[in-house]
Amino acid sequence: MKHITLDITNVLSKTIGDEGIDRALLLNIAAKIKEFKKTVYNTPYPFMDFGLLRSHLNDVYKVGENLKGLNIKNLILLGIGGSSLGTETIFHALLDPLHNIESDKRGNAPRYFILDNIDLHRIKRVAELVKKENEETLLVAISKSGETPETMSQFMVFKDILTHGKDYKKRIVIITDKNKGMLREIVKKEGYLSLPVPEGIGGRFSVLTPVGMFPAWFMGIDVEEILSGAKGMSEHIENADYKKNLAVIIASILYAMDNKGKPIHVVMPYCERLNAFADWFRQLEAESLGKKGRGPTPLKSIGVTDQHSQLQLYIDGPKDKFITFLYCVNESQYIPESIPYIEELDYLAGKDMKELFRAEFLGTRRSLTDAKTPNITITLDEINPFNIGALIFLYEMVIAFMGFLYGINAFDQPAVELGKIYTKAIMGKKGLEEKRQVIEQELTKKRSIIEF
């Protein structure tokens, strides 16, 4: 049984003409990655080290032992970007969509609230909930640096609330750098349970570390299977011929599309459970490759919803887009003949909604292909922990290979760091007085403002 399949028919020039890529050129790019891949697997990036990932999974279990016996009804996860998007991907794919609403949908797992923003409308409401259920709430704060201002401010708010409950320190887990940062200092000072973000693994590549595995384990998700899927994908990427290697071919196509004047990469899941994966991929590609004036622009589009909002642009707008479909539909829903007096609905009555969903997908893909908008399709046989682990690792390697093709470091984010520095300066952090002065001078300048 094939877990994940890739259909590249509609990106090839023999299908869509000049808007596509010639197979020979595609394989020429893939051959370059083939040589680089040997180097990568001889000296793996830290996120590829399954011995390390396995050891940290054992750390997750050890922390879990300390949480036994606690009556936890709410998991509050504080994190932003890579500290939360991977967990959101896993939860959205593998938990019931009514998990937080109906108790019988979540079994023994708690409700979860991922606070990946400091917009006060949501923060304040979740804070009110925690005040009411103080001693039934587990707080998990995640920051690689241990100094992310959004996460630190959230932690200060929710830690203060928890201190009013009995034995509150038992209900705080911090995931951060093993040796440095303010969160690590807080762990040492106050004695909270903690897990490491491994050295050399940045936030957007950290979902298979305790960053994603601890919250997933706590919610009852089979994290062993997630790692098994990732390891299986790693073995495929290492050993498969470059002409039939998922990561090598996808990376080659994405790179070729950008060079062909199609820098807008649209990820379009026809599977609601993969919607959050598209969000995770946006950060992975944008933050890894958007450097030195280069890099594609990843967008998220949802099938079938965005057929009614974006498809007009993708078909009839500028030819600067490339579409990746993600497809998986296994459930069924019978469409009853409940409106027999309208003959025009006969084509739907008595059918399975799964058939309609597939027809929508095939129709959209065909219309894009007719319009010569290049597209590929990734199909999962089902949504399960194994396949989610495999899909995550696949795209981590795709981005690593693209970094090689672009000749850039895919693992840093210098422009993001500058924004963080300005934020801290505005808030009055010591040592950043010059940066604060720059902002203050800007605010004194006359602004071009239009009012209503």
Burial class (CB in 10 A: 0-12, 13-18, 19+), 244: exposed
Instruction: For residue 356, give the amino acid letter.
Output: L
Catalytic residue check, 308 = yes
Catalytic pick among 319, 420, 429, 435:
420
What's the alpha-carbon Rg for the chain, to the nearest Å?
24
The strand pairing partners of 267, in sequence order, are 300, 324
Instruction: For residue 82, give the amino acid letter.
Output: G
The DSSP 8-state label assigned to residue 22 in this structure reads -
For residues 354-392, one letter each, b for 16 or more C-beta atoms within 10 angstroms of the residue's C-beta and e for the rest, the string is eeebeeebeebbeebbeeebbbbbbbbeebbbbbbbbbb
User: Quick one: CA torsion of 102, 160, 168, 125, rounded to 10 degrees?
Assistant: 0
The DSSP bridge pattern shows strands 375-380 and 4-7 to be antiparallel
Catalytic pick among 308, 430, 445, 446:
308
Taking alpha carbons only, the member of 4, 1, 9 closest to residue 379 is 4
Catalytic residue check, 287 = yes
Using DSSP's 3-state secondary structure scheme, residue 135 falls into helix
Distance CA 78, CA 113 (A): 9
Catalytic residue check, 420 = yes
Taking alpha carbons only, the member of 396, 420, 407 closest to residue 201 is 396
Strand order in the sheet with 264-270: 4-7, 375-380, 321-327, 264-270, 297-300
User: Quick one: CA torsion of 187, 188, 194, 199, rounded to 10 degrees?
Assistant: 110
Catalytic pick among 19, 147, 285, 287:
287
Taking alpha carbons only, the member of 377, 394, 398 closest to residue 6 is 377
Contacts of 124 (CB under 8 A, 6+ apart): none
Distance CA 319, CA 336 (A): 41
Distance CA 48, CA 41 (A): 9
Burial class (CB in 10 A: 0-12, 13-18, 19+), 102: exposed
Distance CA 86, CA 99 (A): 18
- Which two structure tokens, joined as six digits, stand for 398? 């795709």
Distance CA 3, CA 379 (A): 8
- Which are the catalytic amino acids? 287, 308, 420
